[in-house]
Every structure is written in structure tokens, then in C-alpha cells.
Amino acid sequence: MLNQYETVFIATPVLSENQMKEAVSKFKKIITDENGEIVHEEDWGLKKLAYPIQKKSTGFYHLIEFRADPAAIAKLETEYRRDERIIRFLTTKMEKYAVAYSEKKRARRSAEQTQETE
């Protein structure tokens, strides 16, 4: 049984764009290697932190929604801890209402984008 999860991680702000893409692809590969399925991802970019972490006041935020076996979460979080580029992370299991809300929000956002392009 695959559960749906949402993970957000903050990478150190000193990374180049290529290094950030490499970090994101590394974590996506971990998910897919564990028979997970990426549902959605968002790059929130460089944001100011609420409080300094490791003497840094900004960080690159990235969100990944995915379906995976619960055992895959332990491996993913272990890799977050080992990677010196990641300063914070949070992975949560989404309940059915959160999944429905997220799908509605994505549908509404894509509808707005198609209206803007017309």
C-alpha cells in the first residue's frame, strides 16, 4: 500500500543553480528507486528564514509530493541528514483530505495559468 507524502527541504543558499538541481534530482531518484511515484514538485526558490540556521538567514526551498511505501521515508530522511547541502527538512504523510485539497489547488492553478496565456 502506497501512502502519499509531502516533503519540503531547505538547501544552503550558497549553492549554484546547477548544484540545487543536482540535489533535487538526487532526492527524486531516491524516491523512485524505492518504487515511489512523484506526484508533484515545486521550487519555491530563495526565501528568508524565520531564524538563522547554521549562521544562514536564507535558503532554497523545494517541495516534493510523492506516493511511496512507508519504508522509503527512513531512507530518504537518512539521505537528507547525510547531505551537507540540506539545512532543514520535513516529511509528512498526507491524509485523504490534504490530498484532495492539494489536487484541487493544482487544478485551480493550472486553470488560472491557461486563462492568462489566452
Residue 6 has pLDDT above 90, yes or no: yes
Domains contained in the chain, number: 1
Domain CATH for 27: 3.30.70.60
Cell 519540503: give the residue: 8
Note the pLDDT of residue 96: 86
Residues 79, 66, 36, 62: what is their CA dihedral angle, to the nearest 10 degrees? -30
d(CA 8, CA 68): 16
The answer, as to whether pTM is greater than 0.75, is yes
Domain coverage including residue 37: 3-117
d(CA 60, CA 46): 4
**Which pLDDT tens digit goes with each residue over 30-46?**
999 988 899 999 999 89
Q: What is the residue type of 33? A: D
